[in-house]
Amino acid sequence: MKRILTIAMIAVATVATLGSCTTKEEVDKQLETLTNYVGLQNIPGVYVCENGQGKPVYTFNQSDGQGYFNKSKLTYRIMNNDGSKYVQFVLSAEPVVGESVDVKTTVKGIKGLSNSVYKGLKVDRIEDNLLYLVGGATADYTALILVWVE
């Protein structure tokens, strides 16, 4: 009886897991939606795809913020003027269009963001002193727009 109960529980868990998985097509659509949305933006910051739409999480506010860029350290940071909110991005390698990089973030005081490493962000393009990174190694796609002076 224990064996039948165990098999039944495994079967239920498997069906539940399979039913909740995101299909490759859904993941591809999320990535495409986010890429298109971010392609229309020109404000440095962090963007996500939520409910099928692109959405900013935290962006640079020129009237109440400061930006810092250091190409030799592969670092970009945006913060508010009093320093109570900031996010710093450190790339794992020099960005090359079409290639992927990991981006380590250090965050303070920003709801919805935490210290993490975004793995496998694709360098979508570099133009007008902005670096566009989109993707990730999981279905939780993120896009970053960073100041990047060649």
Structural domain spans, the chain: 24-147
Instruction: For residue 5, give the 3-state DSSP assignment.
Output: helix
Indicate if the pLDDT at residue 131 is higher than 70: yes
DSSP sequence for 25-73: HHHHHHHHHHHHHHHT--S-EEEEEETTEEEEEEE--TTSEEEEEEGGG
Indicate if the pLDDT at residue 127 is higher than 50: yes
138 pLDDT band, cuts 50/70/90, is low
Residue pLDDT, tens place only, 95-116: 999 999 999 999 999 998 999 9
First to last CA, the chain: 68
Share of the chain above pLDDT 70, in %: 81
| Displacement of CA 129 from its chain's centroid (Å) | 19
145 pLDDT band, cuts 50/70/90, is very high
